[in-house]
Amino acid sequence: MEPSRPPLGAFGSEESIFLSESGEGGGPSQAEEADPAADAATATSDSGLQEPSDRSRARASLACYMCQRKKIRCTGTFPCANCQRRNWSCRFDAQADGRRKANNRRTVQDLNEATEQLRRQRQMISGMLAIMKVGDQDSINHLIQRVGQTQNLAEIAEYIRGEVDKDGKLQESFLAVDWAAAGSQL
């Protein structure tokens, strides 16, 4: 006849209600307490078969370059456990992971900058159209001369802004440009 085993504890581990020889409880040792995730991941039933754990392992959002290259699980820390154990150079490429908040923030910032640049370009084109439509011949000739002489768009935009600001007819024509109608036809 086989000796009876102590009752199983609440988490499926064998916790003895009896005192050990040292007088301490027969609970888990310090080494066992150090890794509760290992206990949860390898919990066994009375039949000896492994049962799925209630707690799942936290997954790293992005594996380091070496773990990706070797196709092994990465802890996601810096340096990761694999790189530290093998003395590898641990490198992460945060831009490669589209899920990261920093990458998304950078994308939003890039879109905002592009939107602002388009707004300035529309204003410059609207000013050019206003000068060509209702400006006097000297303003038109001066604009053509500036465009031909320089590659500096800031200088051209400054000239256009100055011309539009000082002439009421140019301001009206500038504001009358209908970008909504033009957008559907472009």
CB contact at 8 A, 126 and 177: yes
Do 46 and 1 share a domain, yes or no? yes
CB contact at 8 A, 121 and 157: no
Domain tally, the chain: 3
Do 150 and 167 share a domain, yes or no? yes
Domain of residue 73, residue span: 65-92
Q: Answer whether residue 14 is part of any domain.
A: yes
Kindly give the confidence (pLDDT) of every residue in the chain, 186 residues in length, as a single tens digit, with 9 standing for 90 and above: 444 444 444 444 433 333 334 444 444 444 434 444 444 444 444 545 555 555 666 666 678 889 989 999 998 888 999 999 999 999 987 666 666 676 778 888 899 999 999 999 999 999 999 999 998 899 899 999 999 998 888 899 999 999 999 888 888 889 888 877 766 555
Q: What share of the chain is helix, strand, coil (3-state, %, to 5)?
A: 55, 5, 40
Do 70 and 53 share a domain, yes or no? no
Q: Answer whether residue 32 is part of any domain.
A: yes
Q: Answer whether residue 1 is part of any domain.
A: yes
Do 28 and 78 share a domain, yes or no? no
Do 45 and 84 share a domain, yes or no? no
CATH code, 70: 4.10.240
Do 15 and 50 share a domain, yes or no? yes
For 45-48, which contacts have Cβ atoms below 8 Å and span 24 or more sequence positions? 45/12, 46/8
CB neighbour list of residue 76: distance below 8 Å, 6 or more residues apart: 59, 60, 61, 62, 63, 64
Strands (E), 13-111: 16-19, 25-26
